[in-house]
């Protein structure tokens, strides 16, 4: 019997997330306050009592979910009641990373249990690395904040979006996306003169690398393999529109555009990947206490160099969540505990298990 800890990605956030932890556990309060100091603004105010618009900002959303996830997993002797949040729960538990979480309920039980393996969906991979002690809490938060800002800048460079495809096999989605996509991504080494922003610690400026995409209207790729019959695609507006039409004609039950600001986990995130690469390479990674199953290859890793290389690739590669869960099950996982806002990954695990 093996116990897997899993961590959600962007889209699971809700106003009030983490407030119970802050109020009940001194350790949680100390970690939240440390995060406020690291970020240079009181993210707790936005998490606990901000507006939906505040929380939807990428620079807020990603560190907020990271904090809730890591702090929930770090505090000891949780009970179900301690971590049950209900915010306008809907009848379904469908979730698409980087989209909107439909089910706002969360229930976590943990009594000093040590993970045998960890995994995170997209952003959640950083939470998993901190809980597995490969990254320090402070370094993990700095990388997440740098990632959020880099992704936001990449989104502003190219108009793009994502869509959820339901009820169609992966091979058909892959084939149609491949038939539509025809692009060439060019990255220059020249920093954009008007896109510099301070790094999370305020000490350095991170240049935004310029890029150009030829035939940008035709970019569309698989982005999130969430569960059998549920795959999210990512690309330019025109590419997504064309793909949705063709996928519905091919038999998809639904082709649902998502309310997101960019084409995450696609070639259009290459500028963000280039920007984040330097920050990752300069950060100290340790050997984790247990294997982490990473998004890009769905395989378990403990080598810090391999972990870093996969993190750099993650922004432009698809999230292989289905394959990750299948690999964990094959390696003996019998129990999955989800830490963070929502319980969508738990639902996806159930679907993958069948």
Burial class from Cβ neighbours inside 10 Å (0-12, 13-18, 19+) for residue 52 reads exposed
Active-site entry in 95, 121, 265, 301: 265
Please give the pLDDT value at position 292. 98
The pair of structure tokens assigned to 143 is: 């990388």
- Cα 351 → chain centroid: 20
- Cα 198 → chain centroid: 23
Please give the pLDDT value at position 43. 98
pLDDT at 154 over 50: yes
Please give the pLDDT value at position 249. 97
8 Å CB contact between 54 and 157: no
Domain architecture of the chain: domains with CATH: 2-153+272-353 (3.40.366.10), 158-261 (3.30.70.250)
Grade residue 264 by pLDDT with cuts at 50, 70 and 90.
very high
The C-alpha atoms of residue 249 and residue 308 are separated, in whole angstroms, by 40
Please give the pLDDT value at position 351. 96
- Of 32, 124, 127, 19, nearest to 82 by C-alpha is 19
Please give the pLDDT value at position 171. 97
pTM of the model: 0.82
Q: For this structure, is 265 an active site residue?
A: yes
Active-site entry in 122, 127, 227, 337: 122
**Helix or strand holding residue 120 (H, E):** strand 117-120
pLDDT digits (tens, 9 = 90+) for 97-153: 444 344 444 433 444 558 999 999 999 999 999 999 999 999 999 999 999 999 999
Distances (CA, A) of 241 to 37, 38, 106, 172, 232: 43, 40, 34, 17, 13
- Of 236, 192, 182, 188, nearest to 212 by C-alpha is 188
Strands 117-120 and 292-293, sheet pairing = parallel
Please give the pLDDT value at position 30. 97
Burial class from Cβ neighbours inside 10 Å (0-12, 13-18, 19+) for residue 188 reads exposed
8 Å CB contact between 146 and 279: yes
Please give the pLDDT value at position 330. 98
DSSP type of residue 235: E
Mean pLDDT, residues 161-179: 96
Highest mean pLDDT among 89-103, 148-162, 311-325: 311-325
Residue 297: left if φ>0, alpha if ψ -120 to 50, beta else—which one? alpha
Instruction: Specify which residues 211 forms β-bridges with.
Output: 187
Please give the pLDDT value at position 260. 83
pLDDT digits (tens, 9 = 90+) for 205-261: 444 444 444 445 689 999 999 999 999 999 999 999 999 999 999 999 999 999 888
Task: Give percent of the chain above pLDDT 90.
Answer: 71
Q: Locate all alpha helices (DSSP H) within 252-303, ordered by sequence.
A: 270-281
Q: For this structure, is 266 an active site residue?
A: no
The pair of structure tokens assigned to 29 is: 């309060």
Question: What sign for the dihedral angle of Cα 96, 108, 293, 331?
Answer: negative
pLDDT at 204 over 50: no
- Can you list the positions of beta strands (E) in 127-281? 160-166, 184-191, 197-198, 205-206, 209-214, 220-227, 230-236, 254-257
DSSP type of residue 216: G
* DSSP output for 297-346: T--EE--HHHHHHHHHHHTTS-B-HHHHHHHHHHTTEEEEEE-SS--HHH
pLDDT digits (tens, 9 = 90+) for 322-337: 999 999 999 999 999 9
On average, the pLDDT of the chain sits at 84
pLDDT digits (tens, 9 = 90+) for 60-93: 999 999 999 999 999 854 443 333 333 233 333 3
């Amino acid at each position: 019997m093996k116990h897997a800890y899993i961590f959600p990605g962007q889209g699971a956030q809700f106003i009030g997330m983490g407030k119970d932890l802050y109020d009940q556990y001194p350790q949680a309060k100390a970690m939240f306050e440390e995060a406020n100091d690291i970020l240079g603004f009181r993210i707790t105010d936005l998490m606990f009592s901000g507006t939906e618009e505040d929380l939807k900002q990428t620079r807020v959303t990603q560190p907020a979910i990271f904090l809730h996830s890591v702090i929930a997993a770090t505090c000891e002797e949780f009970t179900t009641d301690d971590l049950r949040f209900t915010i306008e729960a809907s009848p379904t538990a469908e979730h698409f990373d980087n989209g909107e979480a439909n089910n706002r309920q969360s229930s976590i039980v943990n009594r000093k249990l040590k993970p045998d393996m960890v995994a995170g969906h997209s952003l959640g991979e950083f939470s998993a690395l901190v809980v597995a002690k490969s990254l320090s809490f402070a370094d993990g938060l700095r990388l997440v904040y740098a990632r959020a800002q880099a992704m936001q800048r990449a989104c502003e460079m190219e108009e793009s979006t994502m869509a959820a495809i339901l009820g169609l096999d992966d091979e058909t989605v892959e084939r149609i996306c491949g038939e539509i996509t025809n692009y060439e991504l060019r990255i220059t080494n020249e920093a954009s003169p008007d896109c510099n922003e301070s790094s999370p610690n305020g000490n350095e400026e991170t240049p935004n690398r310029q890029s150009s995409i030829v035939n940008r209207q035709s970019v569309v790729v698989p982005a999130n393999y969430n569960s059998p019959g549920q795959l999210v695609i990512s690309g330019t507006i025109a590419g997504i529109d064309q793909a949705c039409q063709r996928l519905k004609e091919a038999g998809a039950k639904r082709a649902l555009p998502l309310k997101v600001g960019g084409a995450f986990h696609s070639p259009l995130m290459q500028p963000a990947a280039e920007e984040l690469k330097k920050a990752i390479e300069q950060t100290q990674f340790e050997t984790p206490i247990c294997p982490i199953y990473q998004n890009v290859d769905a395989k378990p890793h403990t080598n810090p160099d391999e972990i870093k290389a996969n993190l750099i690739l993650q922004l432009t590669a698809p999230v292989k969540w289905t394959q990750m869960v299948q690999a964990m099950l094959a390696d003996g996982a019998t129990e999955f505990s989800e830490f963070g806002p929502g319980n969508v990954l738990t639902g996806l695990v159930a679907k993958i298990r069948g």
